Chain A
Amino acid sequence: MTDTGKRGDDRRSAPGVLTRGQVLRLGGALGIASAAGPFVTACGGNAGGAVPGGKLVIWTFFDQVKIAARRFMKKYPKTQVAVKVFPGDQYETKMRLALQTGKDAPDIFDTDLSYQGKYINSPFAEDLSAMGAEKLIKDYVPYVAGFTKDQKGTIRAIVDHSAPGGFWYRRDIAQKLIGTGDPEEVNGKVDDWDKIIELGQKVVKDSKGKVHLLDSYNAVFEVEQNHMQPWVVNKKLNIDPRWNQALDVMRRIRANNVDAKLDAFSAAWGAAWNNGSVLMFAWPSWAGFNIDRKKTGDNWGIARAPKAYYDGGRYSSIYSKSQNKELAYQYLKFIASPEWQNYNLKKTLNMPALQSVYKSNMDTFKVPLLSGQHVLKTYYPIAMDIPVRRSDKYQKEIQAMFISAVSDMITNHQPNSKAFAALKEQVRTTYPEISVK
């Protein structure tokens, strides 16, 4: 704007005297300057670190987002953040409708990693790379940083946590049945599937069938899926040959009565967390909500699974039609900061996305539930070992189809080829655009 004003001065033919046209041009320039003033001030302010005031609307499925919103408002009192929480399966449908129509749509929307691939590669999610988000994820755990990007590598989401997984187990029961409850020692007993199967047989035998080592053979699936090639490569169904070994392990686990045959999130499975009928659960860092401390006591430990894995994640994107992108970006910047992630770790026990937060808390952070285990020390190497991927719209959907096909195969004692054939058939039918051989 300053440049325009100078050019106007240069064009004056007679200093001190303004023609009618010059008056009109000057008026126009002043009008534009006054209209654009707040925007320019806001941009300039941001560059200097100030946050524009205003109201931000966030849609999420997770109640704890309100904590982040409150901290953000406390830090920036001129801002107002309205968090709308839609728990349950209907959140995605509601959100998609709002984003499609643009009516009463949020400025920021959260997506779960199970369906994030559809949104991060859609025009609904704003380009955050253009807003400077590379700086925000520079120190992120690599696998988490991978999921903030679309297929082309543009950042379109920010996350404030990671979700590394391990084996959750009760120390007292482990002490009784496998001879130790110490995580370091347990690590050595469950770092290989063969060892796990052997240990599982011992647990069932010693407990006279009352305790099983694992809740379900799905533990193998949870762990191994992160190390397989993507399901779709160049629009072709890609079945990693290593799935054969993984399926064999699952079959052996079932055949040797190592697992309790419980479906995740069933009532019996929920009870098993607290009644001691299952020794270990392959679950990510956020699994603590399954535990009733009154029943089990602060008696838990976390051991490493045979391979590093993660499960879940809530990613936040700015709606591309939002009128409030500057403020929305400031919010994302806030949740990506060490300040918030440190607070979040201590308040909600969610593992950070930033490596620096892992490192700075590694020797000091303890969780009472885990009997004083330095949990960040356990999780950090796991998080760092998880292969880096980017979300696409097929991966999680096809994974769900395969889980279902494997379940039929295991239950009905069928060969691996049956599960692969069922998957191919389902993919062929559901996604005609994918080539299946």
Chain B
Amino acid sequence: MSVVARFRKKVFRSKAIPRPSRSNWAIHGYYFILPFFVIFVAFQLYPILYSLYLSFSNWDGFSAPSFVGLRNYERLLSDHLFYKSLLNTLVIWVMSIVPQLFLALTLALILNEKFIRGKHFFRAVFYFPNIVTPVTIGVLFSLLFDWQTGAVNKLLEALNIVDHPINWLGRPLLSQVLVAVVMVWQWFGYNMLLYIAGLQSIPSEIQEAARVDGANGVQVALKVTIPLLRPVILFTIITSIIGGMQIFDVPFTLSKNGPENSTLTVVMYLYQTAFERSQYSYAATIAYATFILIAVFSLLAFKLARSRQEE
């Protein structure tokens, strides 16, 4: 008999305390989960629904919202800056996610090998950038890549690689590359840890069996380990899509909008619309559009991975 059952039996044996009916027990259960739902409704569901309402209204924060129907959505469809911010987000995301996951997977495979010494040390070191706040990273890289006084340009000039300092944050593509590099540096350690956790859950017998059958290290990795790691890879891709669509802090601190708005991401655009220009309703519209895009991309990634798995 479990401790709980014994306790219940002991308590309700007493005549002073009437045994509650089954339905009363169920009600008590609801009391326990009530705090979660109260907090969920107050701080999540209500803001979500209120944002939806706002997206159909006109509100500048100074007077009461007025209903305008689909006008904000019409504006969004013809908003060049929104499309540009969307494209920037995708470009930065692709430029950061591909090398990031590749690097993370490669390092995870290497650090999962038994013969590597000091792998715990390297895992910790590679993870360090992820615990530094993004704002700090943004400021750090802006100092390193400063056009006139940055250490990177000074080094390149000292090594005679360039004659004049490079204006890293003065050209659209360079700015996007720099933001992507910072994000790779910030996140590869985190994804590497996820892959290592996934690799450690793969039974070693399968890899040993492949080796017995004559597969070399690369073949084992490509034909056995990575296919078995597919659920973790899918997880990292989906979380990267969600995170990638919400890129904000690094470009915001590193380059702001960047030259020709090249590092203006969707969430930065949303932030500026709401909190710098007080166009709350339009910002809510951008938020909903972003939500739909994230959902579509996540669904596509999920379907793609699933169809591969079925094949």
Contacts and interface: CB of A to CB of B under 8 A. Distances in A.
Interface of A: 92-93, 96, 100, 118, 122-124, 260-262, 266-268, 271, 393, 397, 404, 407-408, 411-412, 422, 425-426, 429-430, 432
Contact of A397 (B75, B81, B276): B276
Given A123-B62, A267-B146, A411-B170, A425 B260 contact: no
Interface in B59-106: 61-63, 75, 79-82
Nearest to A393: B278
Interface of B: 61-63, 75, 79-82, 142-143, 146-149, 167, 170-171, 257, 259-260, 273, 275-278
B81 A124 contact: no
Contacts, number: 50
Contacts of A422: 260
Given A261-B147, A266-B146, A408-B260, A429 B276 contact: no
21 contacts: A92-B275, A93-B275, A100-B61, A118-B62, A118-B278, A122-B62, A123-B62, A260-B148, A261-B147, A261-B148, A397-B277, A407-B259, A408-B260, A412-B170, A412-B259, A422-B260, A425-B80, A426-B81, A429-B79, A430-B273, A430-B277
A155 to B, nearest CB: 19
Contacts of B148: 260-262, 268
A422 B146 CA distance: 25
Contacts of B146: 266-268
B45 to A, nearest CB: 20
Q: Is the interface of A mostly helix, strand, loop or mixed?
A: helix
Given A397-B277, A412-B259, A432-B75, A96 B149 contact: no
Contacts of B80: 425, 429
A93 B167 CA distance: 33
Contacts of B167: 411
Contacts of A262: 148
A418 to B, nearest CB: 10
A268 B149 contact: yes
Contact of A271 (B81, B149, B171, B260): B149
Contacts of B75: 432
Nearest to A119: B62
Contacts of B260: 408, 422
A93 B148 CA distance: 34
B275 A404 contact: no
B6 to A, nearest CB: 50
Contacts of A100: 61-62
A404 B257 contact: yes
A426 B85 CA distance: 13
Nearest to B257: A404
Given A422-B260, A430-B81, 11 more contacts: A92-B275, A93-B275, A96-B61, A118-B278, A268-B149, A397-B277, A408-B259, A412-B259, A425-B80, A429-B80, A429-B81
Contacts of B277: 397, 430
B268 to A, nearest CB: 13
A124 B278 CA distance: 14
Contacts of A430: 81, 273, 277
Nearest 7 pairs between A and B by C-beta? A268-B149, A122-B62, A411-B170, A429-B81, A408-B259, A408-B260, A261-B148
